[in-house]
Structure 1
């Protein structure tokens, strides 16, 4: 493990070695203003077509080239069925596009000497624990921003869904068994990265939200950008989240991501994010002024963990610190996508050698429109023509994220067994259950059904409908309201349930709770 203490130096040399072996971009020449202008004129036509085709209700796009904002425009509507248009100053929830933004904030802290990428979490936040003592003692900011801590990817997302706040979610991560050995596997973790960011901010004595504003948003004039949901909802000019309901886009659900703000809780505009892209492409220099040391920022783009191939373009993809690092058909790119399954889609793609980047913000899920538009536009910039229908290809990827799982769940519970086994009397199931991770679950009777209450002070309620024997069904997901989940009880010889397994909280095998008391 000694090698990882010097991972910065090793990683940079590995990056140089990979680049030396990788073929150059398809165009070795700098992107001329004429080529960019020609591509932008076609982007101007492509974007309205995406709206007209119903791919998303609205989107905003910013393009940066050679430290200039060469395109900045909104298309479509903030909310489907309403007249208010999206413009360059419409505020979107950017979901996981927050990760590279937050990595830039930490780079500013590293640049100022507040922390280093290899600062240990045990020193910054001594109360934080992983399941095992050795990783806990060695864990660094770098490990958490590279998703190599061993934390399973969804750990903490489940607790957020039932109402726990950030502090309690981070405390309970200690109860989750690792999905891989420490630093041996890549597992994309919202709350792992959140802990890395929060720990990095602790020496300042300020909250993460304050640090992000002071170190990045304010210096870049990103006046409409925040890591607080309350700030987002104050904006009149904000984009609603949309999901498909009976084949049409509908703004049905709101999403408060404050618990995982560094990983998914930033809200911003195309105009503001274009300033951030200028900083990234300028290696920490913004408007001629050095704001972040180049070496502190460069470490975010070192490919530390392999992600395999891009599912559509086939390019080799890695993860740095809050950034995807990809070697694709147009050479080296840095990027990150964002998505809320309740209705957000975002993307940034940066080509550092060409000093060119694009940000696309959209207000609907599922949709491959951001990637499709970005890939189409970069084809136009580099080759003068679009290679294929990238939007269709990416739509298939995003449609497949939940489709098979929803179909499988529906199939599993499509029909009750015939004859179905009867349930025990309601009193067999009612009572309090608990485990360290989920906390308390209270099952109570309500007429012919049962009610399951979860989260702090029973914040979330789920109706349980009998399916077969000691198995009940509930429909916990607002974004997939027709997706059933099983809730099963183990009833002992005494006629009382000794345990309950909550299917929608069991991704990491933490969904079984034991009866407490009588």
Structure 2
């Protein structure tokens, strides 16, 4: 055990040494205060143009260089069609930008000797289980923050969608078959990282939300930052979430991410996040005081798992502990994007060798505006001019996330067979179904049709429209309301359905539930 741990630390420090020797961007020696000042003026114009052109309803930007916040400004509106403007103190839901923030919180716990990155989850949270006993016994905080536990990426997201709380979701992850061997594959997991954070906080005897406040938000004066949704909605100066409806941005959906707070539930402002970036650029030193030991924070930026290539720049991309680590056009960078498909986009990009960082928070999805502005700013700083239309390049990436899938689903179910096979009587389908992962589902008559209820106490209801035979359709996604998904039944010899397969819950092949009782 000691040998394994020593080898792990040896590899970490070797990686840190390699990163320290990584060549600086070719034009880094040309980065002067004058060039940065010009870049900021052009960044401001680009941000104004993105809002004026309908790229997003609103956004806010913070830029930090050499421990100084050199740019801090809001653009556009908190909610489309309303006059309230975004400013540096507008609170945004930052989605997966929460991950590097939470990694910083855990680094503070590591710095204080409360846990280590290699602490075993079995010791911190003995009740937690993966599907297989060996990874359960060996799983560490490091494994969960680098997404190498073997958990499929979407595991638990589906339970959250239908109303389960954090404790129940983490308990039910034991029923999910692994998508890869332990530590052999990268699979981006919201609830895997959430478990890593929650377990790391357990020795304190306090909740994750309290620990985040005590170890990070309060020491940095991040007074508008929280890991509780209830705190977000208390702010009058907060940004709504927006999706496109008939080609226009509309604030249609609210998102409570408390179940996955460490992975996606932080809310914050550009001003507050600028202070966090100061801490990161200072390698744990803030306002002249060491808040986090450098060796604890350094480990978050060691590339542990390959992510392939950046989809726009083509640079090599890796994952550390809650951070993307990339070797791109401008040398080494650390970063992380955040997105809620119901209407949030965020981004942080750090150039550690140049002591330069930028945070962009926006209130819409899909959009590549944060990446586009960040890449444009980097070009201006390193090259003196923007090399291409990065906003368009990233817009194309995000537009392609759901469009093809929606189109394919529509095409699949564009029209039922002619003639369509009739449905059985409603009594053939009505009843209770269950499996270990999703719990109970109830199918019941509703007027001339059927309704499916899933989640704790039937928290979510979905109307079922007959398509063909024992196949029905429903439209479960609020953000893509015209995307159909199937709900199919298997009939038993008694003429009643013996099982139901719920398409929108079947990502990990756990969407088949068996009839329970009569």
- Same-fold call, TM > 0.5? yes
- 1:441 and 1:453 in contact (8 A); partners too: yes
- Secondary structure of the corresponding residue to residue 372 of structure 2: helix
Cα drift, residue 324 of structure 1: 0.1
Cα drift, residue 32 of structure 1: 1.6
- 2:500 and 2:513 in contact (8 A); partners too: yes
Are positions 1:10 and 2:24 aligned together? no
CA deviations 1:134-175 (Å, max 9, x no partner) are 000000000000000000000000000000000000000000
- 1:193 and 1:262 in contact (8 A); partners too: yes
Tell me the equivalent position of 2:440: 440
- Secondary structure of the corresponding residue to residue 72 of structure 1: strand
- Secondary structure of the corresponding residue to residue 366 of structure 1: coil
- Secondary structure of the corresponding residue to residue 312 of structure 1: coil
- Secondary structure of the corresponding residue to residue 422 of structure 1: coil
Cα drift, residue 39 of structure 1: 0.6
- The normalised TM-score by structure 2 is 0.98
Tell me the equivalent position of 2:252: 252
- Secondary structure of the corresponding residue to residue 418 of structure 1: coil
In 1, the alpha carbon distance for the partners of 2:20 and 2:183 equals: 23
CA deviations 1:163-192 (Å, max 9, x no partner) are 000000000000000000000000000000
Query: How many residue pairs get matched?
Result: 517
Cα drift, residue 408 of structure 1: 1.0
- Secondary structure of the corresponding residue to residue 89 of structure 1: coil
CA deviations 1:29-78 (Å, max 9, x no partner) are 16321111111111121110000110000000000000000000000000
- 1:8 and 1:299 in contact (8 A); partners too: no
Tell me the equivalent position of 1:508: 508
- Secondary structure of the corresponding residue to residue 238 of structure 2: coil
- 1:431 and 1:443 in contact (8 A); partners too: yes
CA deviations 1:469-491 (Å, max 9, x no partner) are 00000000101100011000000
Cα drift, residue 15 of structure 1: 4.6
Tell me the equivalent position of 1:431: 431
Unaligned runs of 5+ in 2: none
Tell me the equivalent position of 1:481: 481
Unaligned runs of 5+ in 1: none
In 1, the alpha carbon distance for the partners of 2:434 and 2:26 equals: 58
CA deviations 1:107-146 (Å, max 9, x no partner) are 0000000000000000000000000000000000000000
- 2:422 and 2:469 in contact (8 A); partners too: yes
- Secondary structure of the corresponding residue to residue 232 of structure 2: helix
Cα drift, residue 23 of structure 1: 4.7
Q: Which moved more, 1:212-221 or 1:37-46?
A: 37-46
Q: Which moved more, 1:28-37 or 1:176-185?
A: 28-37
Could you say what the CA RMSD is over the residues aligned between the two structures, in angstroms?
1.1
The runs of at least 4 aligned residues of structure 1 exceeding 3 Å deviation read: 1-6, 14-20
How has the CA–CA distance of structure 1 residues 454 and 258 changed in structure 2, closer, same or farther, with 3 Å as cutoff?
same
In 2, the alpha carbon distance for the partners of 1:121 and 1:464 equals: 41
- 1:30 and 1:354 in contact (8 A); partners too: no
In 1, the alpha carbon distance for the partners of 2:12 and 2:497 equals: 53
Tell me the equivalent position of 1:27: 27
CA deviations 1:378-423 (Å, max 9, x no partner) are 1000110000000000000001111111111111111111110111
How has the CA–CA distance of structure 1 residues 5 and 180 changed in structure 2, closer, same or farther, with 3 Å as cutoff?
farther
Tell me the equivalent position of 1:139: 139
Tell me the equivalent position of 2:383: 383
Tell me the equivalent position of 2:39: 39
Q: Which moved more, 1:448-457 or 1:7-16?
A: 7-16
Cα drift, residue 455 of structure 1: 0.4
In 1, the alpha carbon distance for the partners of 2:4 and 2:323 equals: 22
Tell me the equivalent position of 2:128: 128
Q: How does 1:108-119 map to 2 (within 5 A)?
A: 108-119=108-119
Tell me the equivalent position of 2:173: 173
Tell me the equivalent position of 1:368: 368
In 2, the alpha carbon distance for the partners of 1:52 and 1:401 equals: 24
In 2, the alpha carbon distance for the partners of 1:23 and 1:317 equals: 16
- 1:253 and 1:342 in contact (8 A); partners too: yes
Cα drift, residue 17 of structure 1: 3.5
In 2, the alpha carbon distance for the partners of 1:304 and 1:247 equals: 41
- The normalised TM-score by structure 1 is 0.98
Cα drift, residue 6 of structure 1: 3.4
Are positions 1:497 and 2:508 aligned together? no
Tell me the equivalent position of 2:355: 355
In 2, the alpha carbon distance for the partners of 1:4 and 1:512 equals: 41
In 1, the alpha carbon distance for the partners of 2:128 and 2:506 equals: 23
